[in-house]
Structure 1
Amino acid sequence: MQTWHMREETFRAALACLTDAIHAEPISAWFGAGHRASADGQAFYLGGAGEAGGAVNAHYGRDPVVKIYTTITDRYAPLHQTVIAGTAGEAIHALDGILGHDSNANLTALHTDGGGVSDIVFAVMHLLGLDFEPRIPRLSDRRLYAFEPAGSYGKLAPLFGRKLNRDIIAGHWPEIAQVIGAMRDRTVTPSLILKKLSAYRQQNSLAAALREIGRIERTLFTLRWFEEPELRRIVTAELNKGEARNSLARAIAFHRLGRFRDRGLENQQIRAAALNLTSAAIILFNCRYLGRAVDEFRRRGTPVDPTMLARLSPLGWDHINLTGDYVWAENLKLDADGFMPLLANPLP
C-alpha cells in the first residue's frame, strides 16, 4: 500500500483536494479572502545524528533536528510542505509553496518571518506579480536603496546605502526573464534555482542583478511598513495563524515520541506530507462543524456577531482522539445530511 499510494505526488494531489474543500466552506471566508499565504519552519527532533538532513541548531538545543517548512493560506488551509536541514536558511524555500501547490487557491501575497526574508525573494515575487510582505527583523539596521545618490534625500541620507546599479539589471534582463518564466511555468522549483545562484564561490552577476531589483522592492515595502498600521496588523495576524497551525502539527506528531526516525530524506518527506495531510483533514472537519454550529445558533434565534466569526479558529483538537484505539462504529448515528449531531450542552 505504501509503495502504491503513499508517494509524494499522491500526497500533493490529496492535499490540494483538502485545500480546495477548506476554501469552499462558507465559514472559512471569515478567516480571510483566500488570497494570502504565509510560510514558516517548524523543527522536529531526529532519532539520531545519522538521519538525513540532521544538524544541530543551537536555537533548538543539542539534539539534531530537521525543519518542516510549511505554507498555509489565510483560511488556514495547508498548501505545501518540504523537509529542510535544521541549519538551512528558509529564504530559498519561501517561494516553493506559493508557486508549487496544486490547489485552485488564487494567491497574490506571501508573508514570512525573518527566516524567509531575502532581497532575491523580494525581486522574484515582484517579477511574478505577487506581493511579498514579510516581517523583517532588525528593520532599523537595514539600509534603504535608490537609483539616486543618498545625498539627494537630504536629512534621510544616512538611511540610504550605495546607489543601485541600473546597468547590471539591464544587462541581465533577458536571463532574469528566463528564470522568472521557468518558475512561473514550474519547469524548476524556485528553491533549486536560488540554491544554485547562492552556491557560486564568487558573487554571481545574475544573483547580483536580482538582488538589486529586490532592494528596490524592499525599500518600497519598508516605507509602506512605516506608513500603514493595517499592513503591520495583517502581517502579524497571518504569521500568528502559521504559529497556531504548528501547535496542531506538534500535537498530531506524537508517534515515535514526536521524532523523525526516518533515515532517508524521501521517507522524511513522506512523513511530513502525511502530517500536513492529517492537519488539513482536521481543519476541514472543524470548518464543517463550526459552520453547522453557527447555523444552529442562528436557527435558534441566538444573535451571532459577524465580527466575532473572524476570531474563530479551525485548529482545535481537544475533541479529537489523537491517541489510543481508532474505532469506526458501524452504528454511528448521523443526521439527514450525513453528519454527526451537534452537542446540545454547549448551546443555550
Structure 2
Amino acid sequence: MKSQPVFALAHLLGFDLMPRIRNWKGLTFCRPSKQAEYVHIDALFGESGKNVIDWELVESQFRHLMRVAVSVREGAISSSTLLKRLRSGSRKNATYTAFREVGRVIRTVQLLRYLSDAPLRRRVTAATNKVESFNRFSQWLGFGNRGVIADNDPAEQEKTMKFNALLTNAVIFHNALDIAEIARQLLEEGWEVAPEGLAHISPYLTEHINRFGEYSTHELGIQPEAYETTLDVDFTPLREQDPAAAGFGQAT
C-alpha cells in the first residue's frame, strides 16, 4: 500500500520505476473496470469485480496531481518530503487517494510487464544487484560508528552521507584504474583479455584495502625496565607528624 504513491510520483516525473519483485504472494493486480476479466491470469486480479481503479477520482484530482509533480520538479518541495506526507496521509484526503489510485494503475502495468518479459526481468535483476552491491560497498567504507549517523541535524546528516558517497566513488575510481592497469599488463604479456571477462569484474573490491591504516610495531620487541615495587621516598616524618597538625584532629 505504501509503495503505490511512489509509483505514481515516479510516473508523473517521467521515471520508469521497475523494482525487482521478490514475493508475488501479497501482490494484487488492479482491474480497469468491474467488467474486466482475463482468460489465463484473472486470478492475479483477485475476486471478480473487486480491486477496480477509481478513474473518476483520478480525473477530478488530475490538476492537483500535476501541480504537485511540477512543484517537485521545480524544487519547491523535495520528493522525500512529499512521499513522507503521502505515506502518512489520510485516506480521506482526495489528493492522497488519487496518488494511490494512479500508483495502483502504474504498478499493475509494471507488474504485467515484469511477468511477461523475461529479458526485462534479467535487466531489472542485474541493475538491482549493482545497486545493492554499491550500497554494501558504501556501508563497508562507512564503518565508523558502525555506519550509524548519530547527529540529529539534517544538514550534518546530509554532509555525512555526501562524504561517504565521495569516498566510495573515489575508491571505485581507484579500483577501476587498478583493474585497467592489470588488464594492460596481461595484454602486454600475451594474454587474451575479452570484454566479456572484464564485464564480470566488479569495482567494489575490498580485499586490498586496509581501512584501519598501517601502524609501526617495531617497538613491540623492546623490553621495558623492571617494575620497582618500592618508592625511594622516606615517609618517616609523615608518620611521626602530630595528627592534629596534619589536619586529622578530633572535632571539638
Both structures adopt the same fold (TM-score exceeding 0.5): yes
Q: How far 1:127 sits from its partner (Å)?
A: 2.1
Contact kept? 2:89, 2:96, Cα under 8 Å? no
For residues 214-233 of structure 1, what are the structure 2 equivalents within 5 Å?
Answer: 214-233=103-122
2: distance between equivalents of 1:273 and 1:147? Answer: 43
1: distance between equivalents of 2:82 and 2:164? Answer: 27
What's the counterpart of residue 163 of structure 1?
52
Q: Would the alpha carbon gap of residues 138 and 204 (structure 1) be closer, same or farther in structure 2, given more than 3 Å must change?
A: farther
1:128 and 2:13 matched:
yes
What's the counterpart of residue 251 of structure 1?
140
1:180 and 2:69 matched:
yes
Give the SS at the match of 2:31.
Answer: coil
Structure 1, residues 172-219: CA drift from partner, whole Å, max 9, x if none?
A: 111111111122223321111122233344432112112212211111
Taking structure 1 as the reference length, the TM-score comes to 0.54
1:118 and 2:7 matched:
no
Q: Would the alpha carbon gap of residues 187 and 301 (structure 1) be closer, same or farther in structure 2, given more than 3 Å must change?
A: farther
What amino acid is aligned across from residue 126 of structure 1 in structure 2?
H
What's the counterpart of residue 32 of structure 2?
147
What's the counterpart of residue 130 of structure 2?
241
1: distance between equivalents of 2:82 and 2:152? Answer: 26
Contact kept? 2:5, 2:86, Cα under 8 Å? no
1: distance between equivalents of 2:112 and 2:213? Answer: 53
What amino acid is aligned across from residue 143 of structure 1 in structure 2?
T
Give the paired residue count. Answer: 211
Alignment match of 2:102 (pick from 205, 213, 216)? 213
Contact kept? 2:91, 2:97, Cα under 8 Å? no
What's the counterpart of residue 297 of structure 1?
186
Contact kept? 2:5, 2:87, Cα under 8 Å? no
What's the counterpart of residue 333 of structure 1?
none
The structure whose RCO (Cα within 8 Å, separation 6+) is larger is 1
Q: Would the alpha carbon gap of residues 257 and 187 (structure 1) be closer, same or farther in structure 2, given more than 3 Å must change?
A: closer
What's the counterpart of residue 11 of structure 1?
none
Q: Would the alpha carbon gap of residues 185 and 300 (structure 1) be closer, same or farther in structure 2, given more than 3 Å must change?
A: farther
Q: Would the alpha carbon gap of residues 267 and 201 (structure 1) be closer, same or farther in structure 2, given more than 3 Å must change?
A: same
Q: Would the alpha carbon gap of residues 192 and 166 (structure 1) be closer, same or farther in structure 2, given more than 3 Å must change?
A: same
For residues 1-348 of structure 1, what are the structure 2 equivalents within 5 Å?
Answer: 118-149=3-34, 152-154=37-39, 156-160=41-45, 161-256=50-145, 258-325=147-214
2: distance between equivalents of 1:152 and 1:261? Answer: 52
1: distance between equivalents of 2:112 and 2:26? Answer: 14
Taking structure 2 as the reference length, the TM-score comes to 0.73
Q: How far 1:151 sits from its partner (Å)?
A: 5.1
Structure 1, residues 79-102: CA drift from partner, whole Å, max 9, x if none?
A: xxxxxxxxxxxx9xxxxxxxxxxx
Over aligned residues, Cα RMSD in angstroms?
2.5
2: distance between equivalents of 1:181 and 1:260? Answer: 32
Q: How far 1:257 sits from its partner (Å)?
A: 5.1
What amino acid is aligned across from residue 124 of structure 1 in structure 2?
L
Highest Rg: 1 or 2? Answer: 2
2: distance between equivalents of 1:132 and 1:294? Answer: 36
Q: Would the alpha carbon gap of residues 311 and 206 (structure 1) be closer, same or farther in structure 2, given more than 3 Å must change?
A: same
Q: How far 1:278 sits from its partner (Å)?
A: 0.8
1: distance between equivalents of 2:27 and 2:7? Answer: 14
1: distance between equivalents of 2:112 and 2:194? Answer: 35
2: distance between equivalents of 1:227 and 1:296? Answer: 45
Structure 1: runs of 5 or more not aligned: 1-90, 92-116, 327-348
Contact kept? 2:11, 2:106, Cα under 8 Å? yes
Contact kept? 2:141, 2:168, Cα under 8 Å? yes
Contact kept? 1:150, 1:162, Cα under 8 Å? no
1: distance between equivalents of 2:108 and 2:146? Answer: 45
Contact kept? 2:186, 2:192, Cα under 8 Å? yes
Give the SS at the match of 2:8.
Answer: helix
Q: How far 1:325 sits from its partner (Å)?
A: 4.9
What's the counterpart of residue 236 of structure 2?
none
Give the SS at the match of 2:173.
Answer: helix
